[in-house]
Structure 1
Amino acid sequence: MTEVAAERGTRHRLPVRKLVAASMGNALEWFDWTIYATFSIYFAGAFFPSGNEALALINTFATYALAFFFRPLGGLLLGRFADLRGRKPAMILTIALMAGGSLAIGVLPTFGQVGWLAPALLLIARVAQGLSVGGEVSNASAYLGEIAPSERRGRYSAFFYISTGGAVLIATVLGFMLARTMEKTQLASFGWRIPFLIGGVLGLAGLWLRRSLTETELYQQKQESARRVRRPLLTTLTRHPKAVGQLVGITMLATLCYYTFFSALTAFAVKSRGADEVDAFLALSIGAALFVALQYPLGALSDRIGRKPQMLVWSGVTAVVIVPLSFLVGPGFGGLLVVFCVGLALYAAVTALTPAIMSELFPTELRGLGIGAWYNLTVAVFGGTAPLVLNALSAAGAATAFFWYVAVAGVIAFLVVLRLPETRGSELR
């Protein structure tokens, strides 16, 4: 029985303030990561030598990808910290790291001012954010899973990506507004700094909200068990290898969906397919709004029909349609709208229940570290490299190969989900 479980026969009331507070940090995390990817076409020249725009953009995405490889370390360290010290202090630490990194990027000097110190400082800020995100996803997912009644875990989980989608929507709308109201020279000069500074300010609101959280009862019951675990990362492999494999298989496709539609595709459409940047930002904004609107209904649906059927639809249909969708990316608002709306609607089918699925895979004493380490390692390998791979393949004239790559990930995820036990309504271990 969790701290929020309602008595039978009474109407359940969602603890909205608690759900928003738990999800707020994740919203800030993904606001910052999204603006880095979407505004990279404007600030790439600020941190790297001028004269080769394509090389500067590739270097910027390489920094983006490199920071991802600190996510597993963040997931390992901050996930273990959450298992030992509590979900609440871990979530406060992650949001502080992310806000600090965002503010730093917003005020960094350019390559023209300090030379190679500029990309070095950019990398340090991104490393801090990479560590932060590594801990945030696992700890917030564990928190939401642990406070939810077993029969409503899908509904509670939906708030995780309602916040994420809302933050991404704000970031893309901001991009649309800036692209519409500012000249390209202004965006490249100073306009790109605005969203990073906004992200830092939002961090203060997130810190204030998270101070009001209470620790979960399930964690408090298992805190001593977590302290007795020796070699926790190895323990996840020796005692829970199936859970690790299932998490990796599902996350591989999920992270490719996220970074394809929310990050890489905007720059790809503008730079490689000749799409208008205003059309791209507007189409992404509408797709993001649809993504947010679908979260709670799909989370509730997973509580009714189960996790497995919903994930089979997501992975199977994505594998089939991703390549045909790629041919619609180009000039014209209509094609872009179809791509973003179809892609993000499918992706919503899994994000609505992701925290529930991840929480149900590992026992409480290993939940923070188990999710943090293996989820983030998978995201680093497949998600962090997605913008770089797409741009590199596009430069080589083989952009379609990237979408076949996503299709193969869809087939793998479908096969993994087929062997996944149904966990709807089950008690957390």
Structure 2
Amino acid sequence: MTYWPSVDETATRTPPVRGGRQLAAAAAGNVVEWYDWHIYTFLATYIAAEIFPEAAGDSLVPLLSAFAVFAVGFFARPLGGLVLGWVADRRGRRAALTAAILLMGAGCLLVALTPTYATAGVLGPAVLVVARLLQGMSAGGEFTASTTFLVESAGPGRRGLFSSFHYVFATAGQVLASGVAALLVFGLDDGAMHQWGWRAAFLLGALMSLVGLWIRRGAQETRGEAHRHARPGLFEALRTCPRESALICGITAGGTIAFYTWTAYLPTYAQVDAGFDKADSLLVSTVSLVFFALVQPLGGLLSDRVGRRPLLLFFAFGFAVLCVPLLNLVSGSFLSLLWVQCAGLLLLTGYSSIAAAVHAEVFPARVRAAGIGFPYSVTVALFGGTAPYVGTLFTELRVPGAFPWYVAVLCLLSGLVYLRLPEGAHRPLDR
């Protein structure tokens, strides 16, 4: 049964630390983490051409291979969510945040140094897989530690607002990734992009990781005194809170497939299925992600007033009804793609702006980070990480129209979970 602390219980705990300083610490790492993570998808076509061999007569094989490696990174996220979540519960949130950004920087540097298939054969794809595994572990731990850190830093009645900043920072990283990719594509000729341009983007990410690590040194620990000496086991959250773990999976499934479809795969979907220009699709993505970041705090503030469930239902049933017609509207027109992406991201705000708060309100503080990290990361790996691959595979199988229905069904299933979800907006949070 979900643990809800009493008012007397929370009154004895350490009060929230200073919000502005905490937001800055979370922002520094999150922007770098998600730049490193998403730059791969924006440059997937160049990576595919250099690292993977092309099958005779089938130009989609390298792209499928590149997205398969993208998915491999997601399957390392559960391990990162479990292990770094356990570190956060045992050693503190700051320790996990530091470990996460170090792993991401190392993975990004390794991608930048990956040899091509022409020069090293299968060693190139092997190095790329190792790099994405490191980044996957980091991303799983980053979400776990940073969302717990943000929500626990919030004052009374502000958890939704603070929760929204996770996707503001994550989207800022995506915008930066999309912007860097667009600048490289517009500024370099195709030969330079294939030869060294895409590598420069990953080298930049590795350097930014060092900056983020330095800024995070000033973060304050958010784990309350009551839990400072707690030493939960690695699998304690799964063992003691199985219902809550399953609930995290149901909450996440629709949100993650919608998020990665609209923010990571849509530029490629437009290129492959509608013949959209590569550079223009990256520009549309950058503009729409700026819009997405700006509306996140509005969703968080609204949830603090009206509750989490109304926003979650707006997202889930809105996507279930509109996903198919929206994706069918994607064409070669710049304005049509921009409208489709912004409309989908507005619906997605009902989930993304409050996901961190909803997750944190499910688990007690003692096992909160690991309790969220493992089931969340497993669900993201199964449905979010595979979204680009599944979408491209449907195109390869000549049934591209099946992919929008796949997204819609998963959102509908999450909507049914939201209908039964206990409302946690106005309950005290265990710290």
Structure 2: distance between partners of 1:305 and 1:234: 31
Say whether the 8 Å CA contact 1:154–1:353 is kept in structure 2.
Answer: yes
Change (3 A) 1:229 1:73: closer
Runs of 4+ in 1 over 3 A off after TM superposition: 1-6, 50-53, 228-231
Give how far 1:15 is off: 2.5
- Give the drift of 1:241: 3.2
When residues 77 and 229 of structure 1 are mapped into structure 2, their CA distance, relative to the original with a 3 A threshold, is closer
CA contact (8 A) 1:158 1:351 kept: yes
Q: Please tell me whether the aligned partners of residues 86 and 234 of structure 2 are also in contact (alpha carbons under 8 angstroms).
A: no
1:267-286 Cα shifts (integer Å, max 9, x gaps): 12112320112221121111
Matches within 5 A, 1:10-409: 15-50=19-54, 52-218=58-224, 220-225=225-230, 227=231, 231-235=235-239, 239-409=240-410
Matched residues in 2 for 1:266 and 1:164: separation? 18
- Post-superposition Cα deviations, 1:343-372, rounded to whole Å, max 9, x if no partner, equal 111112221111111111111111111111
Q: What SS class does the counterpart of residue 261 from structure 2 fall into?
A: helix
| Residue of structure 2 equivalent to 1:11 | none
Asked if structure 2 preserves the Cα contact closer than 8 Å seen for 1:4 and 1:148, the reply is: no
> Structure 1 stretch 290-299 or stretch 188-197: which is displaced more?
188-197
What is the DSSP-based 3-state SS (H/G/I as helix, E as strand, rest coil) of the residue aligned with 2:361? helix
| Aligned residues: CA RMSD | 1.7
SS of the equivalent of 2:229 reads: helix
Query: Is the CA contact 2:86–2:232 (under 8 Å) kept in the aligned structure 1?
Result: no
Structure 1 SS opposite 2:47 = helix
Q: TM-score, normalised by structure 1?
A: 0.93
Amino acid at match of 2:47: F
Deviation at 1:3, TM superposition (A): 5.5
Q: Aligned pair count? A: 417
- Point out where structure 1 has 5 or more consecutive residues left out of the alignment: 7-13
Deviation at 1:229, TM superposition (A): 5.0
Q: Could you tell me the percent identity over the aligned residues?
A: 37
Deviates more, 1:43-52 or 1:118-127: 43-52
Question: How much does 1:184 deviate?
Answer: 2.1
Q: Is the contact between residue 360 and residue 368 of structure 2 (CA under 8 Å) also seen in structure 1?
A: yes
Deviation at 1:93, TM superposition (A): 0.5
Instruction: Map Cα deviations across residues 211-256 of structure 1 (whole Å, 9 max, x no partner).
Output: 11121142x421334x155841432xxx433322321112111111
**Does the CA contact (< 8 Å) of 2:238 and 2:245 recur in 1?**
no
Shift of residue 80, structure 1, vs aligned partner: 0.8
TM-score normalised by L of structure 2: 0.93
Deviates more, 1:311-320 or 1:22-31: 22-31
SS state of the match for residue 332, structure 2? coil
5+ long unaligned stretches in structure 2: 1-10
CA contact (8 A) 2:232 2:367 kept: no
- Letter of the 1:224 counterpart: H
Report if aligned partners of 1:34, 1:262 keep a CA contact under 8 Å in 2. Answer: no
Q: Greater shift after overlay, 203-212 or 23-32?
A: 23-32
- Inter-partner Cα distance in structure 2 for 1:20 and 1:345: 25
**Alpha-carbon distance, 1:427 to partner:** 1.4
